[in-house]
Every structure is written in structure tokens, then in C-alpha cells.
A and B are shown apart, each in its own frame.
Chain A
Amino acid sequence: MKTSLKWLVVPFCVSLAMPASAHRAWLLPSATVLSDTGSWITVDAAVSDSLFYFEHVPMRLTGVGAEPAGRERGAKGAPAATGATKREARAAQQPGAAGAPGGDARRRPPSQQLAIFAPDGSNIAPQNGAIGKFRSTFDIPLEKAGTYKLAVVGGGLTASYTLKGEKKRWRGTAETFKTEIPADAEDVKVTEQQRRLETFVTAGKPSKDVLKPTGKGLELDPVTHPNDLFAGEAAKFRLLIDGKPAAGARLTVVPGGIRYRDSINEMNATSDADGFVSVTWPEAGMYWMEAVVEDDNAQMPNAKRRATYAATLEVMKP
């Protein structure tokens, strides 16, 4: 019984080949408001169903940890760290290596780029990085006063097509698209994915330098500082797409702690003509906020674009 169920489930997952989009990806900082410089925070990064619990897969980030050896499905326990497996682990950490065809790596999304910006805009490296079964984790020393931004920016292509009467789904990059979609594929529909995932941490007085948008994809242009959020108060944000106001962006806000309640309690809103949206936090806690814009402004001809922005925000008790 157990075996037959497994065989039903596995082909379905493989054909979708995009586990991340079915779940929520998040960064969870240990604190977002700190008194002083010289403090440290630790950050968990994961993809899961339930916020903010580690129960699905770690978020693989460049520069954070080495790939544990013996991750093949069904492998019983990790083998001893021999020279060969260490080399494999290092190879798997190289950008692009995880996307190599065949085996488990084929199924797994490639490592995503993590950038940590200090209040003065300089880039700092994550420390003590590790990848576990359910989460990645890293530390950040806060040596400068002001607001830090953590950003994970990624993207790729997804496509659906019909091959000899059979529906197919595909995921990859603009490069792999050229070679992996069969020439006789029909009804090819391509969506360009643009993802940005952020969180903010402040030591001392909140500052605004790191909040400047880059002008690429969907971004948050906060009116209310993201480390100055309080229960019962309205926070105002502006959403920008390619640096311009994103009108009609769909916003979803989900409070953490889902495990201990019956309903998700999500709040929904749509940005106005100038891209503004307002959120009133019902209570203090960690929140996951996601905005989505779908349009035709893909770089690839005849493709749709799906741009998402997600942030983990801590709301304080007044």
C-alpha cells in the first residue's frame, strides 16, 4: 500500500518540477530591532507550507553552507565524509552545478543569490553558514548602526507544452530553453519568473539607504520603515515594477504561527493606481508578505512575466 502510493506521488512531483512555487519561501531573522552595534543575528532560510516552521526543504543560498553528502532520496543516514564526498559537496555548491541534468540535482532548484547590505550600502558576507535537512542558517554581525537589508533575488523560466498529444511542464533558464524544449513541441507557453525575497534588521536608529529600489522586477518602496511596524497601526508601502509604480499588484499578508491556529488568517489587498498599499497589523508578531504582478513585459519574446516580492516583517507590540 505504502509503495503504490509513493509511485503515484513521485511522477506527479517530477512532472511539476517546481516545488518551490507550491510553498512559501522565507527568511527568518532572530531579531529585527536591536539596541546597538556589536550585536549579532542569526537567520533561518527555508521553503515550507507552514509559517515559520521548518518542515519541507532548506533554501539553498550561495555562500551558505556546503551541500550535505548522501542526499539521494531513500539514502539511509549520511555516509562518512570521505574525500570524494567532500569534493562533491563543494562542486554542488558551485553556481550552476546543482542544475546539472540527471539524478537528485535535476529535481532540486539551483542555489539562489543572497546579498546582505549594511546600512552604508556595502555588501557583507554571511557567517557560520550551514544547510540542514529543513533549513539553511547563517549569522550576521551588525557592526554598523542603522538598517540592514537581506535580499534573495532569483528567476528563471517555466513552460508548458504539448508533445505528441501529451501535456508537459518544464523549468529552466533562457539557455536551457533553447536545447531542452523539443523542436516538435506544440502550444509552448513560457512564463518568466522574477523573484525577490527580503527582510530587514536595524541596530540602533532605523536608516533608509538600503531601502532604495534597484529598478528591476517587483520591489518594495516603503513609506513606513519596515523596522518600524506596530500592532494596530497602518503601514504604507509602495510597490514598484521595474522602478515604476505597480498598480493592481496583489498583496497577501500571512501572520506566522500557523501551526497553532485553525485558519491561515491571511489578509489580501491590491495596490492602487500609484502602487500604494496599506496594511494594518492585527497583532504583534512575524508576518510574511507577498506581492505578485503578472504582465507581458518579459525579456523573452511571446513570454508572460510573473514577478513576486516577498518579505518577512516583524511587527512590534506598541
Chain B
Amino acid sequence: MRKLVTVGLSGIIAGPVLTGASLAADMKVTIEVPKLDVAEYHRPYVAAWIENADGGVAANLSVWYEFKKENHKGNKWLKDMRQWWRRAGRELDMPVDGLSSATRPAGKHPIDFSSSAPPLAELKPGEYELVVEAAREVGGRELVRIPFKWPAAEAFSGSAQGKDELGVVALEIKP
């Protein structure tokens, strides 16, 4: 009985969020945090960025981590997002405004970006990959990629399915 009520509620909440997001988004990245049945669960740290053809970072999109812990104690696990740490994280002085935000619970989380605002405003036309990396304390680490062209000539949608630490990661671009 209780379960049914919860499912119904989350359905109602999800509705308006999705409608609101579709208004003016040039790029929408949706990251699913999977529900895991483990003895000790901590929400994953998740980083999303745009990679150049040469592996360099073209734009940092988002970093979810425990950025509000006192004395930056949450920084400790940032390096566990190994690839992000090597490509971008170690060059940054976290937290960074507009990039850092709190960890998310299990579920799908859309993030919208506009081509007229940072970080996309400076993104030059070309071939890129969206990279999403997740690392969980006392858990594993996973990275998925979605190749795309910027700017898109027509509506683009791509997705990648994580196995352990990530669910579906989706990318939608509107011209």
C-alpha cells in the first residue's frame, strides 16, 4: 500500500519537471543514478564534461559531490572520478560556482544548458564526446561516453547505458 502511494507521488513530481525543462534547452543531459541494494550506500560523486577529439576538456558541465561539508572534507573522493580528476579536476580549485552541486539520490536527473551561456557559449563547432563518470564511496566507478556534433544541424538524441554505477545517460541537442 505504501509503495503504491510513493510511486504515484513521484510520477506527479516528474511531470512538471520534464515539461519545464523542454522550454528553451539547447542541450539536455539526463543522468540516471541507479538504485542499488548494497549494505553501505553513499550517493555517487558524478562528473559530466565535454571532451575534445584529442581527449582534452572542452567544457566542464557538472560535478555532483559533497561540496558543503566543512573544511572541504568532501573533496577527498573527487580523485576517485579518475578520468575527470586527470583531465579537469586536479586543475580546478573546487568548489567552482555553477559547476559544483550536491550529490543526487537514485533517479533520473536532467540538467539543461543554453548555447548562449557558459559553458556552451565558448564551445567551437566540432566533434565531441559527452563524458559522464561516477564514483561511489565503498563502491565502484564507471564512465560512459556519447559522441556528438556541435552545433547540431537537426535535433540529436543519444544515450549510453551504464552497468553498475550509472543508469541511462541521455543527451538531447536542439538546433
A residues with a Cβ closer than 8 A to B are 33-36, 38-39, 204-206, 228, 230, 316-318
Contacts and interface: CB of A to CB of B under 8 A. Distances in A.
Nearest to A317: B82
Q: Closest 10 CB pairs between A and B?
A: A36-B75, A35-B78, A35-B79, A205-B90, A35-B75, A33-B79, A35-B76, A204-B90, A205-B91, A36-B72
B79 A34 contact: yes
B86 interface: yes
Contacts of A204: 90
Contacts of A35: 75-79, 85, 89
Interface in B161-175: none
A39 B86 contact: no
Contacts of A205: 90-91
A95 B79 CA distance: 40
Contacts of A230: 86
Contacts of A38: 71-72
Interface in B60-97: 71-72, 75-79, 82-83, 85-86, 89-91
A192 B102 CA distance: 59
A82 to B, nearest CB: 43
Contacts of A33: 79, 85
Contacts of A206: 90
A234 to B, nearest CB: 15
Contacts of A36: 72, 75-76, 78
Given A39-B76, A318-B82, 11 more contacts: A33-B79, A33-B85, A35-B75, A35-B89, A36-B75, A36-B78, A205-B90, A206-B90, A316-B86, A317-B82, A318-B86
B85 A228 contact: no
Nearest to A31: B79
A263 B85 CA distance: 34
Contacts of B71: 38
Q: How would you classify the secondary structure of chain B's contact residues: helix, strand, loop or mixed?
A: helix
Nearest to A227: B90
Size class of the B contact interface (CB-based, 8 Å): 10 to 19
A316 B79 CA distance: 11
A228 B86 contact: yes
Given A205-B91, A206-B90, A316 B78 contact: no
A41 B152 CA distance: 47
14 contacts: A33-B85, A35-B78, A35-B79, A35-B85, A36-B72, A36-B76, A36-B78, A38-B71, A205-B90, A205-B91, A230-B86, A316-B82, A316-B86, A318-B86
A237 to B, nearest CB: 19
Nearest to A284: B82
Contacts of A317: 82
Nearest to A202: B90
Nearest to A38: B71
A228 B78 CA distance: 16
Contacts of B77: 35
A34 B77 CA distance: 8
B40 to A, nearest CB: 21
A283 to B, nearest CB: 14
Contacts of B72: 36, 38
B100 to A, nearest CB: 13
Nearest to B72: A36
A33 B82 CA distance: 10
Indicate the member of A35, A36, A39 with the most B CB atoms within 10 Å.
A35
Nearest to A36: B75
A316 B72 CA distance: 24
A183 B86 CA distance: 61
B83 A318 contact: yes
Contacts of B85: 33, 35
Contacts of B75: 35-36
A228 B79 CA distance: 13
Contacts of A228: 86
Nearest to A34: B79
Nearest to A145: B93
A204 B89 CA distance: 8
B74 to A, nearest CB: 9
Nearest to A316: B82
B66 to A, nearest CB: 12
A234 B138 CA distance: 31
B96 to A, nearest CB: 14
